[in-house]
Amino acid sequence: MSLYKLIAFFTVCNPLLKHPFAIAKSGSIYDDSHRNTLVKN
């Protein structure tokens, strides 16, 4: 794998991996009734 492909791979995967690990680290549980407050109904 070339260096540029490797850099592109990590650039894409880094945010995708940070988010789930941050949720797991915080200890939050899934709340099905949660609604985004920015969305106007």
Per-residue pLDDT tens over the stretch 2-30: 999 999 999 999 988 888 888 888 887 87
Has residue 32 been placed in a domain? Answer: no
Q: Give the residue among 8, 11, 28, 10 at the shortest CA–CA distance from 20.
A: 28
Has residue 36 been placed in a domain? Answer: no
Has residue 17 been placed in a domain? Answer: yes
| Position with higher pLDDT, 36 vs 33 | 33
Has residue 3 been placed in a domain? Answer: yes
Q: How many domains does the chain have?
A: 1
Has residue 41 been placed in a domain? Answer: no
Has residue 39 been placed in a domain? Answer: no
**DSSP for 25-36, written as a single string:** HHTPPP-TT---
pLDDT at 5: 94
pLDDT at 17: 87
| Position with higher pLDDT, 23 vs 39 | 23
Quick one: tokens of 26? Answer: 């915080």
Give me the mean pLDDT over the 35-40 stretch.
70
Instruction: State whether the Cα torsion 21-24-30-31 is positive or negative.
Output: negative
pLDDT at 6: 93
What are the two backbone dihedrals, phi and then psi, of residue 16, each rounded to the nearest 5 degrees? -65, -30
